[in-house]
Chains A and B, each alone.
Chain A
């Protein structure tokens, strides 16, 4: 299957700081998604971004498909940004229906 690596595994920030999370993947992919899992376990889709750049408020994401990586930018972080950020890519061929998830980046934002 496709390997998805996320870095850093843990990130601790002071409120107001900016951060960049990275996702590397081992093969060309059709689709890539970023998710936020809040401290209560709910997974929220942040971006569907197979290529290019998207922005949503303080969050933006860029995927460079030809170089097999994606970046998630969080600006002016808030305590509510805390949680785990997952990157996930679609399988191909016989695994077309599944998402391959990275192990996530645990973000903690202190007031």
Chain B
């Protein structure tokens, strides 16, 4: 597609429920990134995919968080047993080439605003 698409744009869930957030990167972009942004804060790295593999998962805050990417395209971020501190905007980005390759900036999606009540 023309841009990075994320769904849903807003999600309100009850504490303890599981949620799935989806990211459709720009077609042909091999690298995909998940970040989250809490209210008034900067961006916190979660995970990075190169193709379908995740060389760096170290940003995931706990084992309740997991992510996968299939077909080198769509990625899903799953949060199990959601907690109130999970409330944030979850942002996905993609780039044409992966880390360490010069010349390629990131394109971010509009994000999913997650509210845990």
Report A's interface with B, CB cutoff 8 A.
Answer: 30-31, 33, 35, 40-45, 47-48, 50, 86, 88, 90-91, 94-104
Rounded to whole angstroms, the CA-CA distance of A101 and B108 in the bound complex is: 14
Rounded to whole angstroms, the CA-CA distance of A98 and B46 in the bound complex is: 9
Report B's interface with A, CB cutoff 8 A.
Answer: 31, 33, 35, 41-43, 45, 48, 50, 55-56, 58-59, 89, 91, 93, 98-100, 102-108, 110-111, 113
Query: Can you list 8 A-B contacts with CB-CB less than 8 angstroms, sorted by A residue number?
Result: A41-B111, A41-B113, A97-B99, A98-B59, A100-B45, A101-B43, A103-B41, A103-B42
Nearest chain A residue, comparing its CB with the CB of B46: A98
Nearest chain B residue, comparing its CB with the CB of A46: B105
Question: Which of B48, B59, B108 contacts A42, CB < 8 Å?
Answer: B108
Question: Which of A33, A41, A94 contacts B106, CB < 8 Å?
Answer: A33
